[in-house]
Chain A
Amino acid sequence: MTQDSRTFFCWGVSHHTAPIEYREKISPDTAQVDSIYELLNAEEWINELTVLSTCNRLEIYGAGYETHSHKIASTISKIIEIDHGELNEKSGLLVDHEAMQHLFSVTAGLDSQIVGEVEITGQVKQAFLTAGKQRTVGKMLNKAFQKSFQTTKWIRSNTNIGKGQINVATVAVDLALKVFGNLKSCNTLVIGAGDIAEKTIAALKSRGANNFAISNRTFEKAKALAESMGGIALPFESLDSFLAKADVVICSTASKDFILTEPRMNHFLKKRAIRPLCLLDLALPRDIDPGIDRFPNVFLYNLDDLADIAETNLQARKEELGKCHAYIEKKIQHILYGNTSNHSQERESRGIQPT
C-alpha cells in the first residue's frame, strides 16, 4: 500500500452524523446495494469498492486516484430516492490515514453505538465478501480489510473491549449463570409475554437453557410466545403449579401490584428443594416483592440492578478504547508507512506470531 499512489477513502453516514429517522430512510435493500455497486463501479475514478450497510451506518470504502464526495452522495440519493443536498450535508469523507483508522475502528466495534459489540465485525466481513462477489475488491481494499480483521482479532483477545454484558437481557442471563453454572437442567418460568420476556428467553436459550414455561394474563399471548420460543404455556391461574420447581423466574408484566409476594413465595420456598432460586424482575413497576431477597438461597435482581451492571460494563469497555486506538494506530503506521520498528518490538514483547 505504501507504493500505491491511489487514495483509500471512506464516504459515509453513521449514527454520529444522522439520527435514526434519517438512517432508516437511507438504509438500502439488497437490490439497491447491487445498484450502488453497479453505478459507482462505473465511475472512472473509483477502482475498488465495498459497501457497508448496517442499521447504524451506510459507508462506502474505496480506492481511486480522485475522491468526489458529492458524486457518491448524488449516486446514492438517486438509487435510494432521497434528497441529495441533505445526504451531502449528513455524510462525510475520510481519506487515507483517517479512512483506515475509521475502518479498523468500525470493524473492531470501537465506533459502534454499543462499544465493543461483535455483530459489526461479521457485518464488515459480509460486506467485504459481497464486494468480492461483485468483483470490486483489489489489492488496496483487500489489504485494508484483511488487516482490519487481524487487528480486530488482536483487540478482542488482548483487551477487555468485549468483556461484560451490556444489555439487560444478557446481563440477566449472566446472573443466572453465576448461580447455576449451567442452564441446561434449569426450569425457567417466564411471567409476562412482552418484548423483554422474548429477548430474555432468546438470551437464555443461546446459553443452553431449554425448559421454559410461559405464563401471561392473556393466555393466547403466552401460547404464541411459547410456540415461537419452544416452551409450554401456563394459564395465569396455574402459575403456582410451576413456581415450586422453577430455578429461574423472569417477571416482565405490566401489573401495578406485586405478582410474587413474600407470603406467596414463603409457601413455595418451604416446598422446593435446596436448589437456589434466581428471580429476575424486569418489570416497571416491579412484579416481585423486594422483601423476598432476604430468604437464603434466593437471588433477586430488578431492572436497576441489571442496568447498573450493564452501565459498569460499558464504562469498563470505554476505558479500553485508548488501548485499542493506540494499537490500531501502530498497525496503520506499519501498513501505510512501512514503520515496522514499533510493530516488531511490540510483537516480540507480546510473543505474537504473524497471522
Chain B
Amino acid sequence: MGSSADILWIGLGNLLYTLGFVTAILYLIRAKHHPRWLLYMIIAGGYAIHSYGLYLRGMEVRGCPIGNTFEIVQFVIWSLTFCFLVLGPAFRLSLFGFFTAGLAAILSVLAFIFRGWDTPYPLDVGKVSPAIEFHASLAVFSYGIFGLLAISCVLYILQNYSLKHHRWKGMYEFLPSLVESETMTLRMLAAGSGVLTVSLLVGYSYFVQNTAEINAAKLAATVAVWLAYLVVLFLRLTNRLYGKKLAWTSIVLFFFALLSIWPVDASRQTKPTAHTSIEMPHE
C-alpha cells in the first residue's frame, strides 16, 4: 500500500541511515573514530526525510501510520532515531550513533526486502479514536526506546568482552565505558517501561468502554512485553539483575518485543468491521 511519494521519502530516509552506518564502518576499518557530528547530521537528515515520508503516509491513512508491519517497523525506526537525536548529545556515548544507524539500517533493509509487510488494511473512516491512536503511537514509540536500550546493552557486552578477553584494537578501542553503558541501560529501561505503561493506561481507558474491540492475542502479546520489561526493571532496581545478564536479557527482550508486532498487527487485519472501511489500493 502507500503512494509512490511516501515510499520514496521513507526509502530515502532509510537510505541515509544506511549511509551513516556505512560511513561509520569505513572509519572503523581505517581504525579511526567517525566524527560524531558527521554521523549525527546524516541521521538527522535521514530523520527529517523519513518524518516527511511518514507524514505523507499518515495523511493518506488519515491517522498514525502504524497499520501494517511495514509501517510499524518504520515507526520503530523513526522513534529510535528520534530518541537518538534527542538523547545522543546528552549521553555522548561513543559508538552510540554507529549502532543506532546500524539498527535503523538493518530494520530498513528488512522492511524493504519483505514488501509483503506493506499490505493494504481497512481504513476506519470516521471512527479513528484519538485515544487509541495515542495509545498505539506511544506503544510503538516505546519500542524505539527499547531499541536504544538494546544498543546500549550491545555496547556493554562488547566492552565487557573487550575487558575480559583483552581485546583493545579496532572497534573495541572506541567503546564507551562499562559504567556509562550500564547507566544508559537503566535510564532507557525506565523510560521505555514508563512510556509503555502510559500507552497501556491510555489503551485501557479506551478498551474498557469498547470491550468488543479487544483482541486476545494482541492483549496477551502487549501485556507480556510490558510485564517482561517491568520485571527486568524491578530486578535491576533491586540489584538482582545487572551487568552482562541484564544486557543479554534486554537484547532478547527487544527481539521478543519486535516479534510481538505480528500478533498485534494480525489483530488489526481481523478486527471487527462493523463500521465503514476503505481498502487502500496497492501501488
Contact = CB atoms under 8 A, between A and B. Distances in A.
Interface in A175-197: 175, 177-182
Contacts of A179: 163, 177-179
B180 A181 contact: yes
B242 interface: yes
Nearest to B169: A312
A309 B178 contact: no
Contacts of A271: none
Nearest to B177: A181
Interface string B139-163: 0000000000000000000010011
A160 B166 CA distance: 21
Interface in A114-159: none
B244 interface: yes
A178 B239 contact: no
Contacts of A177: 177
A323 interface: no
A182 B176 CA distance: 11
Interface residues on A, range: 20 to 34
B222 to A, nearest CB: 30
Contacts, number: 44
Given A178-B163, A305-B166, A309-B168, A296 B243 contact: yes
A178 B177 contact: yes
B164 interface: yes
Given A175-B163, A309-B168, A312-B168, A181 B242 contact: no
A297 B179 contact: no
B243 A178 contact: no
Contacts of A180: 177-179
Nearest to A305: B166
A92 interface: no
Nearest to B32: A160
B239 A273 contact: yes
Interface string B243-273: 1100000000000000000000000000000
A160 B31 CA distance: 10
Given A175-B163, A178-B163, A276 B168 contact: no
A275 interface: yes
Interface in A220-264: none
B239 A274 contact: yes
Nearest to A298: B164
Interface string A265-276: 000000001111
Nearest to B242: A274
- B159, B169, B178, B243 — most chain A CB neighbours (10 Å): B178
Contacts of A305: 166
A181 B166 contact: no
A178 B163 CA distance: 8
Contacts of B163: 175, 178-179, 299
Contacts of B168: 309, 312
Nearest to A299: B163
Contacts of A276: 178-179, 243
Nearest to B236: A274
A181 B176 contact: yes
A177 B243 CA distance: 17
Contacts of B242: 274, 297
Nearest to A247: B179
A175 B239 CA distance: 25
A305 B178 CA distance: 19
B177 A299 contact: no
A273 B240 CA distance: 10
B159 A178 contact: yes
Interface in A71-103: none
B13 to A, nearest CB: 29
Contacts of B162: 178
Contacts of A297: 242-243
Nearest to B176: A181
Contacts of A312: 168-169
Contacts of A182: 177, 179
- B31, B164, B239 — most chain A CB neighbours (10 Å): B164
A175 B180 CA distance: 14
Contacts of B164: 293, 299
10 contacts: A178-B162, A179-B177, A179-B178, A181-B178, A182-B177, A182-B179, A274-B239, A275-B179, A276-B243, A312-B169
**6 tightest A-B contacts by CB?**
A181-B177, A274-B242, A181-B180, A299-B163, A180-B179, A297-B243
Given A178-B175, A180-B179, A299-B163, 10 more contacts: A160-B31, A175-B163, A177-B177, A178-B163, A178-B177, A181-B178, A182-B177, A275-B179, A297-B242, A309-B168
